[in-house]
Amino acid sequence: MPYTNPMAQVYDTGAFESIMDQGLELADWNGFESRVASSGHEGKLRGRGLATFLEWTGGNAFEERVTVRVAADGIIEVMTALMPMGQGIATSFAQVVTDILGLPLDKIRILHGDTDLANGFGSAGSRSIFTGGSSVMVASKRTLDKARELAAEELECSPDDVEYLAPRLVVAGTDRGIDLFELAGRQTDKQIFIDSTSAVDGSTWPNGCHICEVEIDPQTGDTQIVSYANVNDVGKVINPLIVTGQLEGGAVQGMGQALCEAVVYEAGSGQLQTGSLMDYCLPRADIIGTFKTGLDQSIPCKNNPLGVKGVGELGTIGATPAVVSAVMDALVRAGVPERKRLALQMPLTSEKIWALLND
């Protein structure tokens, strides 16, 4: 590393063998045959599938605009075109600001989607945190630099002599200083305002190893995901709860694609028969048994100052091939001929599996 692939894209960091080894350990790979035997005693077919993968995130949209307003009322407003889509991005952005400015989260207000205040590329391709978060970090640092300059004028000293001891700016080695928000109130427009545009150096390449084990009931064709283990390299992690939620939520979406989600039209008329969630089979919490998720933060990205990698789509990339491979492995063990296995198309519903097992 860095490695340039045949498409002229550069992998900045990666430890792929290590990620796979961690996945094998988390899944108890070597204990699988005993679990096959246990499933057999209950009349079930057991199979396992493994998927290792590398994702290209962010495309080539590396620049983002962020504005920061320090208001006299004690609130810092950060405006960005990056949009929340259930991924908790406002919380992560606020944590980035807090890390730079040393203020509690209730003093930070993240604003989205108002094109009168800010324009930018927006959320797409898992770029929100590594591009947008990095831009929030840069904008926060520029805000602090601006505050030092303004404080130096108030305190009649050089900006280099101003230290930031949140929320005060003080002359180094003295007790002379001014509160950040008081400083904002002394400005002509009662605020400290920064309009910041910055860019990261390239895409990020998150990767992972996902391992799935399934049990199939040959009497009904019902397939249950009994265990799922995954280890992911997403670089540095700002909020582990949010990242784990995205990985596991994405994996469940991938499981749904593999096993149950299908759009059905009536033969002849073309009438949609799965037009509501009463008919369309979404994955639910009961689609999975044991769920183990690991995060390896030892391989930070070198293309952005946060060291983070995209994560929004990572779970679903690994889950679908891992689940399908696990089902195929179970069918191999049941002696289903290859030509019949290869004729299967997702979703692998109980009806399809039952028909295959019962010829």
Concatenated DSSP letters for 123-162? Answer: S-TT-IIIIIIHHHHHHHHHHHHHHHHHHHHHHTS-GGGE
With DSSP H G I counted as helix, E B as strand and the rest as coil, what are the percentages for the chain, rounded to 5?
35, 25, 40
Token pair recorded at residue 212: 């799935």
Helix 89-101 × helix 134-155 angle, to 10°? 30
Q: Which pLDDT belongs to residue 310?
A: 93
- What pairs with residue 227 in β-bridges? 213, 290
- Strand 3-4 versus strand 177-179 pairing type: unpaired
Closest residue by Cα to residue 236 from 303, 313, 300: 300
For residue 105, the surrounding DSSP H or E stretch is: none
Question: At 44, which amino acid appears?
Answer: K
The span from the CA of 345 to the CA of 359, in Å, is 16
Residues 48, 326 contacting (CB under 8 angstroms): yes
Closest residue by Cα to residue 208 from 61, 347, 327, 322: 322
Question: At 29, which amino acid appears?
Answer: W
- What's the first-to-final CA gap in the chain, in angstroms? 50
Using the structure block, give the residue that is written with the tokens 């640092």. 141
pTM listed for this prediction:
0.91
The span from the CA of 122 to the CA of 88, in Å, is 15
Residue numbers in the chain where pLDDT is lower than 70: none
Question: At 153, which amino acid appears?
Answer: E
Residues 196, 165 contacting (CB under 8 angstroms): no
The span from the CA of 327 to the CA of 46, in Å, is 8
How many secondary structure helices (H) and strands (E) does the chain include?
Answer: 9, 13
Write down how long the chain is: 359
**Residue 160 CB neighbour total at 10 angstroms:** 9
Handedness of CA 339, 340, 341, 344 (dihedral sign): positive
Token pair recorded at residue 311: 């994560």
The span from the CA of 136 to the CA of 197, in Å, is 9
∠ CA 335-326-243 to the nearest 5 degrees?
Answer: 180
The span from the CA of 305 to the CA of 133, in Å, is 9
Sheet holding 168-171, edge to edge: 162-165, 168-171, 177-179
Q: Which pLDDT belongs to residue 85?
A: 84
Using the structure block, give the residue that is written with the tokens 């998150």. 206
The span from the CA of 172 to the CA of 208, in Å, is 47
The span from the CA of 93 to the CA of 108, in Å, is 9
